[in-house]
Amino acid sequence: MRRFNNVNPKRQHGFWILGIVGRDRNSLLLLAVAIAGALGPGILNGVLALTLVFIPPIARVAESVTTQVRGHEYVMAARLSGASTLRILREHVLGNVAGPVLVFAASQVGVSIISASGLSFLGLGVKPPEPEWGLMLNTLRQSIWVNPVVAALPGTMIFMTSICFNLMSDGLRSAMDVKL
């Protein structure tokens, strides 16, 4: 019989891939800039670049929480009682993994807003006729000496929106009572 409490993470399939991908946030953001630069400007290309960058950290959290849940006694009890693997995954593992993954994903919304604004500021995001805060910051750079308040408004809105999503994530974590 296989013991689930003593799971060696290095023996799991795909561990070396997760070890390489997603270690450093700055390298992932540079990857987003490279992907958006290769694909060209546009909202779809910017969303695609940020999606590819934000998937590995969420996958790491999901894998970590799944490994923890898999080692709990109620999963072992369900297995010993004869429950199928699909039933254990559906009723015991998925319900306990969804909360922490949802909280972590919600905490990444503010970071993704800042990253999307950065791509647009660099000219790799939204094209000029469409409104976007990073693009507004880029176009208002010349007027910072003339009217600094107007030039600072898009950056202030990016900051406030990011803080609001972080506060929402904290409230969601408190409501779900998830310990990360």
Closest to 54 measured CA to CA, from 96, 115, 4, 9: 115
Cα within 13 Å of Cα(12), Cβ side: 16
**Helix (H), strand (E) at residue 128:** none
Q: How far apart are CA 42 and CA 126, in angstroms?
A: 5
Q: How far apart are CA 13 and CA 15, in angstroms?
A: 6
Amino acid residing at 1: M
Q: Evaluate if residue 12 carries a pLDDT over 50.
A: yes
DSSP state of 14: T
- Give the pLDDT confidence score for residue 21 in this predicted structure: 52
DSSP state of 5: T
Average pLDDT over residues 3-17: 50
Predicted TM-score (pTM) of the model is 0.73
Q: Evaluate if residue 24 carries a pLDDT over 70.
A: no
Q: Which of 66-70, 82-86, 135-139, 175-179 has the lowest mean pLDDT?
A: 175-179
Q: Which of 21-30, 103-112, 118-127, 139-148 has the lowest mean pLDDT?
A: 21-30
Q: Evaluate if residue 178 carries a pLDDT over 90.
A: no
Q: How does the average pLDDT of the chain come out, rounded?
A: 81
The CA–CA distances, whole Å, from 80 to 50, 84, 93 equal: 43, 10, 15
Q: Predicted confidence band at 26 (pLDDT cuts at 50, 70, 90)?
A: low
Q: Evaluate if residue 20 carries a pLDDT over 80.
A: no
- Give the pLDDT confidence score for residue 1 in this predicted structure: 42
Tokens, residue 84: 């199928």
> Residue ranges of the alpha helices (H) in the chain?
15-20, 25-39, 43-70, 73-80, 85-88, 94-121, 133-139, 148-176
Average pLDDT over residues 90-117: 88
- Give the pLDDT confidence score for residue 164 in this predicted structure: 93
Average pLDDT over residues 11-31: 59
Tokens, residue 149: 């308040």
Q: Which has the higher per-residue pLDDT, 12 or 140?
A: 140
